[in-house]
Structure 1
């Protein structure tokens, strides 16, 4: 009798499971709010389709989605709930400003485990509260005021690079710029450089750790509970398994200690003149704790620790990759290098002869340097992953298609930046495309092949995204890029570099780990210092 009861219970459980699976499949295929949109049936049925391309095949779903658009058109269903759009004109409908409530999709927002930081906040109102507290610190005015902090790190970088002159040692620019960006954000936001620039060979483990975390975001998105499991593991054990994470924990704990010290009044701002203990300027933690209008629930140590570390991570890899991409193309194309140096030389000749550095404000008005920066941002993409947004109250319309409220919708910046209708010869690094030729100086045949509508190109250059959730660190990134390029390629204090065993393969993006990544096996953009 007991055996019979157990068998009956097992059959009932199996039947219920089958009904649940079949019923769920029928609902997703035929009754879902997005059932009418085209796309692969398997993608509509299960997240395992996305898992295969992003986890098993190492960040290749972005390219599979591109194939879907070629087959199904400008709007496709790429998983059971999400629609992806490939129509640049629709960009501002998804990534909208404060005129409409916009949320993140909770399923994708968990990929970095940052629900307490502004960047991982899903709800519109809470995100607005958290983001409004960060905006003043990263405004263009604030960045300009703290420009000497950025320049100090860049000077340190140039000095160290020149130390390799005349040796056979090569340096990897992606490691160099990852260390620079980390030290800049550390100095700028937390009042202390982390000393990565002083590390031997520019501490390649830091970039590897950042990219390992980025790569694991695909797995974490599928299995968000893994973050909870990892937080239960002792830091000492994790550090033994992955030694570089010891530095990560050190940074996180340092931010937490800073919060506690500020709250306790033991770490003054620079207004409290305590020699040897005050940071060189008020940090973002001072700003949030002392000047913001955030409620006390938003000023807890765990939340501010997560906010601070997220700013460090976000401000490191993307800027480093952009600088790496730009430097590769400058060094790989003598005509670009020559024209850039001539422009910088002309500016230096009219500047203060006692100064070796030029300001961000001066550099950003240089036409050719600005064109080089724009082209570098276009081909480094910002992030390679699609950015999901939800319009919770308003239906979106694309042609005759109506997207129901509450539907996760995404676009991919990389696809826009490589759209040949906007950017002719999109894979060519051509600063000239951003310079409108004068009537007396018609473009050459080569230049003409890349010329487009500069107004249209500027509209769709979106490496920082757009709308109320665009990258908060945009101004800091621009300042760092302009000041670094001005220092490296300017005639005073510049660094003579040449590529070493490096090709276009080392900057072409073939993996989407949220952050762009080149082909597996790439050894990076390596240079020797002359």
Structure 2
């Protein structure tokens, strides 16, 4: 009773001290719970992420998330607690249950941070009933048959970017192949899916008009793990108090292009917006879905294209092998193979996808009701789990000398089950990249034609290393991947 009286007297005479004491007690109790009693307390990892999500928010923001988590895996093993409620898993066997089996686990709510103009998109939604009819309407456009039916137009996009590369190469100045890759990607997406060419390859200069628009959505990855309410308010504050006119101008250019596209597309037309309009969606949502496609198709494929060009420039011996294969096929007459049947070209494209780190970080999904047991380790319902391309693509067991460019590892007789199992360039399962087929064929086409034209002969990489911000969609520091040709003259 005396102790209670002392406590009451303290509360009444020193309210600030009492408040501080209560706050400290609650904080320490919360920390103790998360360390010892929380359902994920058995998962190892650094101390700070066990206590607070701020650790993950910080590393996501500064762009070294994948690197610090990789170091933690080396110290603690295949399961790392990266926030009080989230686990990063470095084991390809987890891909099946998380992303594939019975449709996989549901996406985490934080994907809503990628909504566009207030609309959920095929990518950002966590609602299966929302996504299914929209995806079903447009999926036929990504079939191999559909893409081959548009082959002439797509090769036209490739040939224009090759001509631009040749024109810039003879200037003796560094050529930003990341910018060229984005130019090609936006033209392929718009030509094939919109049936209206954006014509990015005709734009002069080192900065594509769509790039700031794309970069704005890439930068969402800095705040990817924030609760959606916090994210929305933060996004509003940034736009309000730190306006970026260059980004706003790029947003306006893209909006005008898409708005004009949608307004001139008849309902039921067999292009991307027409197929969505046939579902009687709001016009504003169709515009948002098209913007999402431009962002996703331009960013990742541009990065993959630039990476392949750089890797071939850095490895002239492998370039020569590829050049010989492509020329032999071009001159094979009736025996000419489809480009995706060429073994060394396939190896080059797959190695480029493996090494490019276009999407390096974890794809978070939520453990369903009833929990999940994986290899004897229990993950409670509601916890967030996922695997990352950074962990899988640089696994030395699956890929000996994982940081080296070895197209040969994908040749018949060399490729291993582990290599195939760890390949994660487009995700896996029902929520994998909807445009993976188009993106892959585009890279095959571009690599084939560039090497056949011998454009990369004599090219040298300007950067010793390409450094990225490890966001959901990676961002190249300096915004360029440069090649330079010395003593090259026009034909």
Q: Same fold (TM over 0.5)?
A: yes
Give the alignment of 1:231-380 within 5 angstroms: 241-262=244-265, 267=266, 282-290=270-278, 294=279, 296=280, 299-351=281-333, 362-380=338-356
TM-score by length of 1: 0.80
Over 3 Å counting, the alpha-carbon distance change for 1:9 and 1:322 in structure 2 is same
| 1:516 paired to 2:474 | yes
Deviation string, structure 1 residues 357-391 (Cα, Å, up to 9, x no partner): x9xx7111111111111111111144111101123
Deviation string, structure 1 residues 473-514 (Cα, Å, up to 9, x no partner): 1011011101111111115xx5354334524413xx553022
TM-score by length of 2: 0.86
Please provide the CA RMSD for this pair.
3.1
Unaligned 5+ runs, structure 1: 271-281, 353-357, 438-450
Cα contact 2:105–2:368 (8 A) shared by 1: yes
Over 3 Å counting, the alpha-carbon distance change for 1:339 and 1:256 in structure 2 is same
Distance in 1 (alpha carbons) for counterparts of 2:32 and 2:276? 49
Q: Which residue of 2 aligns with 1:474?
A: 436
Deviation string, structure 1 residues 246-271 (Cα, Å, up to 9, x no partner): 12233134424543454xxxx4777x
Distance in 2 (alpha carbons) for counterparts of 1:220 and 1:421? 30
The alpha-carbon deviation at position 429 of structure 1 amounts to: 0.4
The alpha-carbon deviation at position 79 of structure 1 amounts to: 0.3
Distance in 1 (alpha carbons) for counterparts of 2:150 and 2:284? 27
Q: Which residue of 2 aligns with 1:273?
A: none
Q: Which residue of 1 aligns with 2:63?
A: 59
The alpha-carbon deviation at position 38 of structure 1 amounts to: 1.6
Q: Which residue of 2 aligns with 1:446?
A: none
The alpha-carbon deviation at position 126 of structure 1 amounts to: 3.1
Cα contact 1:85–1:409 (8 A) shared by 2: yes
Distance in 2 (alpha carbons) for counterparts of 1:90 and 1:150? 37
Over 3 Å counting, the alpha-carbon distance change for 1:268 and 1:393 in structure 2 is closer
The alpha-carbon deviation at position 214 of structure 1 amounts to: 1.6
Q: Which residue of 2 aligns with 1:274?
A: none
Query: SS state of the match for residue 77, structure 1?
Result: strand
The alpha-carbon deviation at position 173 of structure 1 amounts to: 0.4
Residue 360 of structure 2 is aligned with which of 384, 389, 409? Answer: 384
The alpha-carbon deviation at position 401 of structure 1 amounts to: 0.7
Over 3 Å counting, the alpha-carbon distance change for 1:234 and 1:37 in structure 2 is closer
Query: SS state of the match for residue 107, structure 2?
Result: coil
Q: Which residue of 2 aligns with 1:527?
A: 484
Over 3 Å counting, the alpha-carbon distance change for 1:29 and 1:300 in structure 2 is farther
Distance in 1 (alpha carbons) for counterparts of 2:284 and 2:474? 29
Distance in 1 (alpha carbons) for counterparts of 2:224 and 2:422? 30
Distance in 2 (alpha carbons) for counterparts of 1:169 and 1:206? 23
Deviation string, structure 1 residues 311-364 (Cα, Å, up to 9, x no partner): 111111111111111111212222111111111111111348xxxxx9xx7111
| 1:83 paired to 2:65 | no
| 1:102 paired to 2:108 | no
Q: Which residue of 2 aligns with 1:441?
A: none
Over 3 Å counting, the alpha-carbon distance change for 1:259 and 1:24 in structure 2 is farther
Q: Which residue of 2 aligns with 1:36?
A: 42
Q: Which residue of 1 aligns with 2:458?
A: 498
Cα contact 1:380–1:516 (8 A) shared by 2: no
Unaligned 5+ runs, structure 2: 1-10
| 1:191 paired to 2:151 | no
Cα contact 1:111–1:218 (8 A) shared by 2: no
Over 3 Å counting, the alpha-carbon distance change for 1:269 and 1:287 in structure 2 is closer
Distance in 2 (alpha carbons) for counterparts of 1:144 and 1:329? 27
Deviation string, structure 1 residues 205-237 (Cα, Å, up to 9, x no partner): 6445534542342235436445456569999x9
Cα contact 1:179–1:203 (8 A) shared by 2: no
